Amino acid sequence: MTAPLLDGLRVVEVSAFVAAPIGGMTLAQLGADVIRIDPIGGNIDYRRWPLAPGGRSLYWTGLNKHKRSVALDLRSDAGRDIARALITAPGEGGGILLTNLPASGWMGHEELARDREDLISLRLTGNYDGTPAVDYTVNCASGFPAATGFGGPPVNHVLPAWDVAAGLYLSVGLLAADRARRRTGTGREIALSLSDVMLATVANLGYVADVQVNGAVRQPAGNEVYGAFGRDFETSDGRRVMVVAISNRQWHALLRATALTETFEAAGRALGLDLDSEGGRYRARDMIAALLKPWFAGRSLADVGDALSREGVIWGPFQDFGQLVREDPRCSPRNPLFSLVEQPDVGQILMPGSPLRPPPAEALPPKPAPRLGEDTEAVLSEMLGLSSAEIARLRAQGVVAGEPAAEQQEQGRNSEGTAVPAPGASVAGAP
Amino acid sequence: MTAPLLDGLRVVEVSAFVAAPIGGMTLAQLGADVIRIDPIGGNIDYRRWPLAPGGRSLYWTGLNKHKRSVALDLRSDAGRDIARALITAPGEGGGILLTNLPASGWMGHEELARDREDLISLRLTGNYDGTPAVDYTVNCASGFPAATGFGGPPVNHVLPAWDVAAGLYLSVGLLAADRARRRTGTGREIALSLSDVMLATVANLGYVADVQVNGAVRQPAGNEVYGAFGRDFETSDGRRVMVVAISNRQWHALLRATALTETFEAAGRALGLDLDSEGGRYRARDMIAALLKPWFAGRSLADVGDALSREGVIWGPFQDFGQLVREDPRCSPRNPLFSLVEQPDVGQILMPGSPLRPPPAEALPPKPAPRLGEDTEAVLSEMLGLSSAEIARLRAQGVVAGEPAAEQQEQGRNSEGTAVPAPGASVAGAP
């Protein structure tokens, strides 16, 4: 095995919830040493649902794989001094802070840069002016819920898409700042806000300009694809598929698969519609759907899939999360993305590595999330040179914690029980 | 102005649609020189809806800002030789290909690496085995549409969330590979598939483990937040807001804003529910919503917003795209993300830069998308040292094209018209 892509990069993450943890995990999965610092007992996200039967959060473990965990009393000066020393510790690839907590006071960039001039810090806020926002309250304002569904009330997405995108932007910003520092020796603070990620994306996709230059406001259209042919169909066994024909090649593949080439030629001629253009198919979408529907309704999902795949039609089955896990071969160890890995306190689960796949010799197998504070001793010894005796003293003073004691592990409840708020939760800022 | 973050990085993008173009644009907005190569007349995405009144695609211009455009006849050996020379041109930050087209034949990594051993290539496919897929056909299989909405048929997202995430992963992978090459001198090919982005994300968020260890399959729950209190409310003026209380601090802010602290204390006691825990609030969500509803129904959006913001409640208005553009101050030049910029053939529009905000001296103002082939001459002269006479000869032979001729600009139609398939469309692989 050669060195992983991000060998030598060291990031200290002080975070909670989805976006910032995804930012750190994305880099850790490519080989960066990502040290997540939490308050003793865990941050506000540590017991977030869903939970494993033993009380461990599947949410937290999913978003913090491949990291090391250090637990500190961040309300005490002693705990903050240790956090500060870890963030600003020397080393070419270190001196990098990634956070979504209020980066003021001891966590402020200027303040930390007093200890390491070339510090890089990445700071995520809700809005660009520092006011708080979360995925749900950004999404509602994006315009997408109003354009989703079948025309009733607005429909929120369930995927926290803005959090996911923001986490990935944080990874991009961090690597860009690291690149600049390698070339010039200069560190810097980079700010990102969740609502700016939303706004930039809405504009990048043309929706803002469509309002500005056309006065057009996209309306909900169910599961239809805008500007081309694409929609869902029901199969004879009560399943549903999504079928898309954007290019002419894809369109003709669909006609071959359904043996409807001549039917559509005749229908296009009769109605004077050009079915050999994206726009023409979009305008004819109701007619196209009506002619295709019986073909799908007369076949099982398996038969539909065989016929479509044989001709290279772009299609996919609708699946719930259970069907995805139980039926989709891509969601199994057959896909090199996944391995069966023992996640402590959870069990053996299907764990993804990075979807970015370098040559096999450089790819890192998935590594479970740490237990809270699991790496405290190792990190303090390795990075700050503290002795076992010093660490034991800090632990006795309640400044640092190692792995949580057994009874703390049992505080959690399963999905039917009550999630206990973490004692350190007040340290965390807005999610 | 200091040098931008990605000064000196040069990427050749051979792409279409959303994901790969976002990957390139994200880097361009941070200062990389991103050269998009298209077939003469444009790739399959060049006229994708929505269109400006003059026929220019708002989709294409939105996703290709800040790049340079080179148009080549990629069906001819001469055109491919030029593309190959651009991809493998010498230069420390160059030798990087980003593509979502089939990376075989002349575009294969091994083949190109014959001309530049330290080549980096980033290749996006539909599925990990190379079979095609698009956002819609990946999303339907993710489990999210089945968990979205109010319990009817599955509901697709309208935001192409997997494309956006895949684009950002491509940026991450490219910067990670560039970092590794700077340290070791070695290039490499990195593969990413759209469905792996989906699968990794579903698993990262805990949904796969929830099926595996709890047998739980998340069901649609309208606009409610899972595992905490959060949902939408209607206001007296027919608008709608999203309100979220995840932490205790946020919950008590909501109670103060609505003057319902004592009411909820009494209700919690009466029903024996612990409203001071996330899980307790989740279980009591229907009762909480019923008690809050009249407060919202009795106030206008403006009054609701004032009262909630004053107490620091996490909330947001539902807006359609029109309301976002016309009413939200974050979607205006008041937000440093945006500037009013003239996009050729479109007009003056609100254009975002990168949501990643380095110190002001390093931030790049937004730059419009190029006209197709606009930079062909400049790039061929600068990177390959071709003379004007040589370029004129190539142009006469139809191997390269500069800016499209006037009649070609007029081929497009407005939103009411027919999108003309690009002559070079057959060169493009699966979207």
Q: Which of B274, B321, B326, B351 to mutate to test the interface with A (most CBs of A within 10 A)?
A: B321
Give the residue from chain B lying closest to A133, CA to CA.
Answer: B314
pLDDT in tens, A298-327: 999 999 999 999 999 999 999 999 999 999
Active site residues of A: 163
Per-residue pLDDT for B414 more than 50?
no
Closest to B44 (Cα-Cα) out of B156, B140, B134: B134
Mean per-residue pLDDT for B196-202? Answer: 98
pLDDT in tens, B67-107: 999 999 999 999 999 999 999 999 999 999 999 998 789 99
Token pair in block for residue B5? 């973050």
Reported as a pLDDT band with limits 50, 70 and 90, residue B1 is: low
- Coil, strand, or helix at residue A232? strand
Confidence of residue B221 (pLDDT cuts 50, 70, 90): very high
Note the pLDDT tens digit of each residue in A356-382: 999 999 999 999 999 999 999 999 999
User: What pLDDT score does B168 carry?
Assistant: 98
> What does the pLDDT read at residue A404?
61
Nearest to A70 by CA among A382, A364, A406, A334: A382
B58 vs A contacts (CB less than 8 Å): 206, 209-210, 213-214
- For chain A, the first-to-last Cα distance in angstroms comes to 38
Binned at pLDDT 50, 70 and 90, residue B173 comes out as very high
The whole-angstrom separation of Cα A345 and Cα A184 is: 45
Q: Phi first, then psi: what are they for B35, rounded to 5°?
A: -110, 110
B419: closest chain A residue by CA? A279
Q: Is B392 exposed, middle or buried (0-12, 13-18, 19+ CB in 10 A)?
A: middle
Average pLDDT of chain B? 92
Count helices and strands (H / E) in chain A: 17, 12
Q: What is the pLDDT of residue B404?
A: 61
Is pLDDT larger for residue A235 or for residue A416?
A: A235
| Contact predicate B321/A215, CB 8 Å | no
Mean pLDDT of A6-10: 98
Angle formed by the axes of helices B161-184 and A161-184, to 10°? 20
Q: How many Cβ pairs closer than 8 A exist between chain A and B?
A: 560
Q: Cα distance from A121 to chain B (closest Cα, Å)?
A: 10
Q: Decide: helix, strand or coil at residue A131.
A: coil
pLDDT of residue A426: 29
CA distance A71 to chain B (A): 20
The pLDDT of residue A7 is 97
Q: Per DSSP, what are the bridge partners of residue B69?
A: B36
The CA distance from B263 to the nearest CA of chain A, in Å, is 22
Share of chain A above pLDDT 90, in %: 90
CB atoms under 10 Å from CB of B152, counted, come to: 10
Would you say residue A416 has pLDDT above 70? no
Tokens of B353: 């830069």
For residue A1, the model assigns a pLDDT of 63
Distance CA A333, CA A194 (A): 34
List C-alpha distances in Å: B307 to B253, B279, B410. Answer: 10, 26, 52
Facing residue for B352 by CB, picked from A59, A204, A241: A204
Shortest Cα distance from A393 to chain B (angstroms)?
Answer: 32
Asked whether the predicted pLDDT for residue A422 surpasses 70, the reply is no
Kindly list the residues from chain B whose CB atom is less than 8 angstroms away from the CB atom of residue A155.
Answer: 148-150, 155, 222-223
Q: Out of B138, B227, B248, whose CB is closest to A421?
A: B248
CA–centroid distance for A127 within its chain? 19
Nearest to B200 among A214, A248, A337 (CB): A337
**Which among B62, B148, B228 is the nearest to A205, CB-wise?**
B62
Q: Do A136 and B244 touch (CB under 8 A)?
A: yes
pLDDT digits (tens, 9 = 90+) for A46-99: 999 999 999 999 999 999 999 999 999 999 999 999 999 999 999 999 999 999
Assign B279 a pLDDT band (cuts: 50, 70, 90): confident
Average pLDDT of the segment spanning A235-254: 96
> Among residues B279, B278, B297, which one has the least CA distance to residue B289?
B297
How far is B38 from B370, CA to CA, in rounded Å? 12
- Kindly determine whether residue A249 and residue B426, on different chains, have CB atoms separated by under 8 Å: yes
Nearest to residue A36, comparing CAs of A6, A57, A65? Answer: A65
* pLDDT one-digit tens code per residue, B298-331: 999 999 999 999 999 999 999 999 999 999 999 9
Distance CA A27, CA A11 (A): 9
> Are B140 and A178 a contacting pair at CB < 8 A?
no
- For an interface test with B, the pick among A1, A5, A427 (most B C-beta atoms closer than 10 Å) comes out as A5
Closest by CA position to A171, among listed A364, A20, A65: A20
pLDDT digits (tens, 9 = 90+) for B101-138: 987 899 999 999 999 999 999 999 999 999 999 999 99
B73 noted as active-site residue: no
Paired sense of beta strands A338-343 and A347-352, if any: antiparallel
HSE of B244 in the Cβ direction (CA atoms, 13 Å)?
23
| CA distance linking residue A264 with residue A280, whole number of Å | 13
Cα-based distances in Å from A253 to A224, A261, A310, A311, B68: 19, 9, 9, 5, 34
Which residue out of B163, B178, B196, B375 is catalytically annotated? B163
**Under 8 Å between Cβ of B191 and B120:** no
Residue B238 has pLDDT above 50, yes or no: yes
How much is the average pLDDT of B165-186? 97
Contacts of A361 (CB under 8 A, 6+ apart): A1, A2
Paired residues of A199 in beta bridges: none
| CB neighbour class for A361 (10 Å; exposed up to 12, middle 13-18, buried from 19) | exposed
Of B128, B214, B320, the CB nearest to A336: B128
Higher local confidence (pLDDT), A409 or A101: A101
B150: left (phi over 0), alpha (psi -120 to 50) or beta: alpha
Q: What is the pLDDT of residue A154?
A: 97
Q: What is the 3-state secondary structure (H, E, C) of chain B?
A: CCCCCCCCCEEEEECCCCHHHHHHHHHHCCCCEEEEEEECCCCCCCCCCCECCCCCEHHHHHHCCCCEEEEECCCCHHHHHHHHHHHCCCCCCCCEEEECCCCCHHHCHHHHHCCCCCCEEEEEECCCCCCCCCHHHHHCCCCCHHHCCCCCCCCCCCCCHHHHHHHHHHHHHHHHHHHHHHHHCCCEEEEEEHHHHHHHHHHHCCHHHHHHHHCCCCCCCCCCCCCCEEEEEECCCCCEEEEEECCHHHHHHHHHHHCCHHHHHHHHHHHCCCCCCHHHHHHCHHHHHHHHHHHHHCCCHHHHHHHHHHCCCEEEECCCHHHHHHHCCCCCCCCCCEEEEEECCCEEEEEECCCCECCHHHCCCCCCCCCCCCCHHHHHHHHHCCCHHHHHHHHHCCCEECCCCHHHHCCCCCCCCCCCCCCCHHHCCCC
User: Is B157 in contact with A144 (CB distance < 8 Å)?
Assistant: yes
Q: Is beta strand B188-193 parallel, antiparallel or unpaired with respect to B120-125?
A: parallel
pTM of the predicted protein model: 0.94
Average pLDDT of the segment spanning B256-269:
95
> Is the predicted pLDDT of residue A421 greater than 90, yes or no?
no
How many Cα atoms sit within 13 Å of A101 on the Cβ side?
25
Tell me the sheet residues that pair with B12. B35, B97
